[in-house]
Structure 1
Amino acid sequence: MQLMVVDDSSLVRERLANLLCGIAGVQAVLQADSGKQALDLLRDDTSGAVRFIVLDIEMPGENGLQLLQRIKSSRRDICIAMFTQHANSQHRARSLDGGADFFFDKSSDIDRLETIVRQLAAQPH
C-alpha cells in the first residue's frame, strides 16, 4: 500500500513518513507540501497505488478542505484522514461532511492514526 502525507510543514511530513513507512504492508509514503503537489502526485499515480492520504487542513493556497473535495470527486477509492492542529468541532464536521474518512488531532491522535494505517495495510487490496 502507498500513502501520501500532505502538509506544509516539512517536520510534520518527515515525522509521519518515518513513522508510517515502518508499518508492515506500507511500500511507500509520498510527501507533498501543497495541494498542487498532491494533485500532481495523484495524476502520476496511474496504477492507483495511493490508497491513504493524511491531509492537513491549514495550508497556503488551496486548503485541506478544498483539496479533500477535489480528491474525493475523482478518486473515491482513496481513504483520507484529516490531520490538524485545528481540531475543533467545526473543522471536524466540515471534514467529515466533505468526505473525510477520519479526523485526527495532531497533538493527541498520532497513535490512533498509526493504528488505522496498520489496519488498512493489513487488508488485501
Structure 2
Amino acid sequence: MQLMVVDDSAMVRERLAGLLCGIDGVQAVLQADCGQQAMELLQQDTAGAVRFIVLDIEMPGESGLQVLQRIKSSRSDICVAMFTQHANSQHRARSLDGGADYFFDKSSDIDRLETLVRQLAAQPH
C-alpha cells in the first residue's frame, strides 16, 4: 500500500512518514506540502497505488477541506483522514460531511492514526 501525507509543516510530514513507512505492508509514503502538489502526485499515480491520504486542514492556499473535495471527486477509492491541530466539532463535521473517512487530532490521536494505517495495510488490495 502507498499513502500520502499532505501538510505544510515539513516536521509533521517527516515525522508521520517516518512512523508510517515502518508499518508492514506500507511500500511508500509520498509527501506533499500543499494541495496542488498532492493533486499532481495523484495524477502521476496512474496505477492507483495510493490508497490512503493523511490531510491537514489548515494550509496556505487551498484548505484541506477544498483539497478533500478535489481528491474525492477524482479518486473516490482513496481513504482520506483529516489530521489537524484544530480538532473542534465544526472542523470535524465539515470534514466528515465533505467526504473524509476519518478525523484525527494531531495532539492526541497519533496512536489511533498509526493503528488505522496498520489495519489498512494488512487488508488485501
TM range (shorter): over 0.9
Alignment of 1:19-38 (within 5 A): 19-38=19-38
Give the 4+ runs in structure 1 shifted more than 3 A: none
Q: Distance in 1 between matches of 2:65 and 2:101?
A: 13
Secondary structure class of the residue paired with 2:80: strand
- Once the two structures are TM-superposed, the CA of residue 79 in structure 1 deviates from its matched residue by 0.2
Report what 2:64 is aligned to: 64
Q: Distance in 2 between matches of 1:88 and 1:69?
A: 20
Q: Unaligned 5+ residue runs, structure 1?
A: none
Report what 2:81 is aligned to: 81
TM-score (norm 1): 1.00
Report what 2:92 is aligned to: 92
Q: Distance in 2 between matches of 1:36 and 1:65?
A: 13
Number of equivalences: 125
Q: Distance in 1 between matches of 2:5 and 2:63?
A: 14
Secondary structure class of the residue paired with 2:54: strand
Report what 1:11 is aligned to: 11
Q: Distance in 2 between matches of 1:113 and 1:97?
A: 20
